[in-house]
Amino acid sequence: MTKIIEIKDATVFRGDTRVFRNFNLEIESGQSTAILGPNGAGKTTLLKLLSCELYPVVQAGSCVRVLGRERWNVWDLRNHLGIISNDLQNEYLGYVAGKDVILSGFYSSIGTYGHQSFSGEQRARVTKTLRDLGIHDLRDKPYAAMSTGQQRRFLLGRALVNEPENLILDEPTSGLDLKATFQYLETVRKLLRGDHTVILVTHHVHEIPPEIERVVLMDRGKVVSQGAKSEILNDESLSDLFDTPIRLVDANGYYQVLPG
Ligand SMILES: Nc1ncnc2c1ncn2[C@@H]1O[C@H](COP(=O)(O)OP(=O)(O)O)[C@@H](O)[C@H]1O
Ligand SMILES: [Mg+2]
């Protein structure tokens, strides 16, 4: 079976900082996973590695494969793997209208440009995506005039318009109020039930939808444990991971944390 992610002995620098040293991680296709870790664990670095924004140090025996391939161009990759990062949310251009945010997904660009052409079928897919995500009424609104929650739905649509089977979400509900959080998580749950594989990267335990049954705990550039969510997540493992006493509460398939 193809692995979504296969990283072997990767060493990765950001500036002068070595974030990963012989880092290893494998995630099988179809295995929705939450990658959980405190600030500085290396979660964003991992995302940048997967989106080809960062490369590992070349060394014998090391590799970073995404969906079985070491080399991708972004135009092919986006059809299989949609990545919604917080960097993208901050960098996106304010004057772009909602429908064009979605349209820009076809070129993985920020905004749309005169030299890009779009087919009738692509425009129809934008309309379908707007309706599926409940944001059709906002299609003419400039990105900068949207709430954080609305922006995030449009960026999800920008990834979904390419109909990728796999999605990577970086702290999907950070900055959202409760209603927007619940709406967004419901959308993610629908995708999970609709056969999407979701990799959720976060330090918020409450963001992990019940459908995600596998977790990877990361700290200081290392995987500290991984396996079934029900086995890996407990008071002790989370207190260790976040270096503070934590009590884990399970409610309706979601988890919440309290001070221990
Ligand atoms: N641009 C950068 N230059 C140097 N070090 C960086 C840079 N970005 C991140 N780091 C360092 O890399 C480590 C991992 O950061 P990051 O991947 O952002 O972690 P996380 O997303 O889990 O909070 C941290 O120690 C951080 O200080
Ligand atoms: Mg981060």
The confidence score (pLDDT) of residue 114 equals 80
The confidence score (pLDDT) of residue 64 equals 94
The confidence score (pLDDT) of residue 52 equals 86
**Is residue 19 in contact with ligand 1, taking CB distance under 6 Å?**
yes
* Alpha helices per DSSP H over 30-164: 43-50, 74-77, 86-91, 98-103, 120-132, 148-160
Q: Which long-range contacts link 234-241 to residues 24+ away (Cβ below 8 Å)?
A: 235/260, 238/205, 241/36, 241/37, 241/38, 241/217
Residue 118 has pLDDT above 90, yes or no: no
Between CA 217 and CA 74 the distance in angstroms is: 28
Q: What is the mean pLDDT of the chain?
A: 93
For the CA atoms of 248, 23, 3, 34, the dihedral, rounded to the nearest 10 degrees, stands at: 20
**Is residue 40 in contact with ligand 1, taking CB distance under 6 Å?**
yes
Q: Which of 11, 14, 23 to mutate to test the pocket of ligand 1 (most atoms within 8 A of CB)?
A: 14
Collapse the DSSP code of 222 into the 3-class scheme (helix H, G, I; strand E, B; otherwise coil) and give the result: strand
Ligand nearest to the CA of 40: 1
**Is residue 48 in contact with ligand 1, taking CB distance under 6 Å?**
no
Domains contained in the chain, CATH given: 1-73+197-260 (3.40.50.300)
**Is residue 45 in contact with ligand 1, taking CB distance under 6 Å?**
yes
Q: Is residue 241 within a helix (H) or strand (E), and if so which, with residue range?
A: helix 235-242
Residue bearing the CA closest to ligand 1, atom 2: 14
Between CA 158 and CA 143 the distance in angstroms is: 12
Residue 46 has pLDDT above 80, yes or no: yes
- Reading phi first (left if > 0) and then psi (alpha if -120 to 50, else beta), residue 9 is in left
Q: State the average pLDDT over residues 128-157.
A: 95
Residue 100 has pLDDT above 90, yes or no: yes
Between CA 126 and CA 158 the distance in angstroms is: 9
Residue 219 is classified by DSSP as: E
Give residue 45 CA to ligand 2 midpoint distance, Å: 7
**Is residue 193 in contact with ligand 1, taking CB distance under 6 Å?**
no
Residue 249 has pLDDT above 90, yes or no: yes
